[in-house]
A and B are shown apart, each in its own frame.
Chain A
């Protein structure tokens, strides 16, 4: 069963003067255990795509099934339940809660999941150990390096044992050595069976994924299937160099 199945999903942003189609009839299937990278230029719709996949934003038409469940028209509470139980988020700017220490940051999704205190403690210690930060359990985010903060974010994403991890430019704010560490960590997570969809504009980062998808003007192009014809079209339409 696919983890993620989108069919003809469309999302537009409207102002009084203009309508911008951020997602243009996107269809995509991601199987369980895949590591997919979505890349594309700025404004191509990558973040909108990730927000829709993560149920952080709505869409106008099409269908979206997550882990076999149609999530196209859920209530706010149902969406929150699915975000909490099935999706882990890793953001470019880490998005740790600055007032909470590492333990409490990882605890947040577990609290919303309604786990018992003992179960939460076990999971937090396990996930923080997995990202190698046990010694920093009671440090605030401001006391951690960027790489360490992203590790905490990954621990937080893993804590709920999600079916799908959505990573939005997870190495965007990191130096190259730390970025490699984070990518290696994501690989480990993927190897353990968790599906990962990662948005990135960095080709080097995208190359870590087993499957690369390109996004342009709100459309998805599966590089594995369509790259030759896309490249040909881009060559034809490119202006001549003077």
Chain B
């Protein structure tokens, strides 16, 4: 019977095409805005690596000035990144299954193909564990070894985009490319890899694409290469910058995000290690504050860093209020339509339809209109998201960052059906309450 009612509802909707178009348009507009905003919020707040996000932890220690609170974190928290000398201290722990620092460094790339002009880029400095830890997919070759970290070897992993640009997408493993002053051997080429958000570097590049080159972290020490620290940096104290390596090794200069992969039950052990490390640093005259470290699970870290801007939530609420206004208007339109078609409802009543059937038929008509409005609204939202993606500066996002997907479709349909239901209940109730004798008079 439900299918029959749906068919009747569709015929009733098509019987007044102009009014139906108006109501579909009202729902579409009302649905498009929150769908777009909720889709954006979802992109910002989605779990980028669901299979192991509970085992990935961001690690921070507090090397900051005892006389001031670090500014860009929650009150009482240590700084958002760690210093190079702490990276070297923490990396020695074998407790984590995997561990890596993540930093950025600017360098000139000199392509093998002389037709491609040299260009400046930011490479990701990482450790060998970066690739298995973050389940980075490879098209050709693979990552480098921990031994390569130690040397550090002149090896590089290319992104799919860089390999396309420099080698036309061919297998470039084994070829050499000059970064700065030195030649690096390509050991791997990534497959399509676009974590959203880019969780391992939310400080510098949360919505951007992965960098085009990945090199062993300690190449930053090889000053001759010409790698220069890039990205968000914080420092205190007044260590002179006369020798770059000495500066890296000694200055309270925070620019590295540090990640470990741990079973959750080993976190307490790891925190003990951090306390011991802090104590050892205190003996060296560092870490003047009481022991203050954080081992923050990935999803909590994204929340701490407000990867999903709080303003987005406010905008979602405002857009839902806009949808509510659309629903109110829709209620008026539907009420007018149902009362105008009262005679037809009277005929149905005379032929044996109870009030509940009339109510259900009218409600289904509202839901049909809602679903149509939801689909149109989804198209509008997809257009808006595409425009937004295209208008973002390259450093902040990319054209394919936002877009309609299954989630958007679900949101649009859920909002539209809810809008149809909310808007339709009163008109449907009014329509079914009119005595059939009165309805037939209106025929």
Residues of A within 8 A of B136 (CB): none
B392 to chain A, nearest CB (A): 48
* Chain B neighbourhood of A91, CB < 8 A: 440, 443
Measured CB to CB, the closest approach of chain B to A69, in angstroms, equals 16
Chain A 2-37, CB-CB to B under 8 Å as 1, else 0, gives 000000000000000000000000000000000000
Q: Count how many chain B residues have C-beta atoms less than 8 Å from C-beta atoms of the other chain.
A: 25
* Cβ-based interface call for B435 (8 A): yes
Interface assignment of B230: CB less than 8 Å from any CB of chain A: no
Chain A residues with Cβ under 8 A from B356's Cβ? 77
B96 to chain A, nearest CB (A): 67
Which chain A residue shows the least CB distance to B12?
A: A99
In the assembled complex, A85 has its CB within 8 A of some CB on chain B: yes
Interface residues of B in 1-42 (CB under 8 A from A): 1, 4, 11-12, 14-15
A100 and B443 in contact, given A83-B352, A84-B352, A108-B348 (Cβ under 8 angstroms): no
Q: Is A148 an interface residue (CB 8 A)?
A: no
Q: Is there contact, CB below 8 Å, between A89 and B350?
A: yes
Give the distance in Å from the alpha carbon of A227 to the alpha carbon of B344 in the complex: 39
Known: A56-B440, A99-B11. A113 touches B352 (CB 8 A): yes
* Residue of A48, A95, A99 touching B343 (CB-CB under 8 A): A95
Inter-chain contacts of B443 with A (CB < 8 A) = 91, 93, 95
Cβ contacts A91-120/B at 8 Å (1 or 0 each): 101011111100000001101111000000
B344 to chain A, nearest CB (A): 6
Residues of A within 8 A of B347 (CB): 95-97, 108
User: Chain A residues near B346 (CB, 8 Å)?
Assistant: 56, 95
Residues A111 and B1 in contact, CB atoms below 8 Å apart: yes
Complex Cα distance, B344 from A97, in Å, reads 6
**Contacting residues, chain A, for B351 (C-beta < 8 A):** 83-84, 89, 108-109, 112, 156
| Beta-carbon nearest neighbor of B355 in chain A | A76
Q: At the interface, yes or no: A226 with Cβ under 8 Å from chain B?
A: no
In the complex, per-residue mask of B407-443: 1 if CB is within 8 Å of any chain A CB, else 0 = 0000000000000000000000000000111001001
Contact of A109 among B1, B344, B352 (CB under 8 A): B352
Q: Which residues of chain B are near A58, meaning CB under 8 Å?
A: 435
Q: Chain B's nearest CB lies how many Å from the CB of A204?
A: 25
Residues 320-377 of B contacting A (Cβ, < 8 Å): 343-344, 346-357
B343: A residues at CB distance < 8 A: 95
Contact B440 A95 (CB under 8 A): yes
Q: Is A51 an interface residue (CB 8 A)?
A: yes
Q: Which residues of A contact B15 (CB under 8 A)?
A: 98-99
| Cα distance, A89 to B346, chains bound together (Å) | 12
List A residues 50-81 near B (Cβ within 8 Å): 51, 54, 56-58, 76-77, 79-81
In whole angstroms, how far apart are the Cα atoms of A160 and B352 in the complex? Answer: 10
What are 19 inter-chain pairs, A to B, with CB distance below 8 A? A56-B350, A56-B437, A57-B437, A58-B435, A77-B355, A77-B356, A80-B355, A81-B352, A84-B352, A89-B351, A95-B350, A95-B443, A98-B344, A100-B11, A111-B1, A112-B351, A112-B353, A112-B357, A156-B351
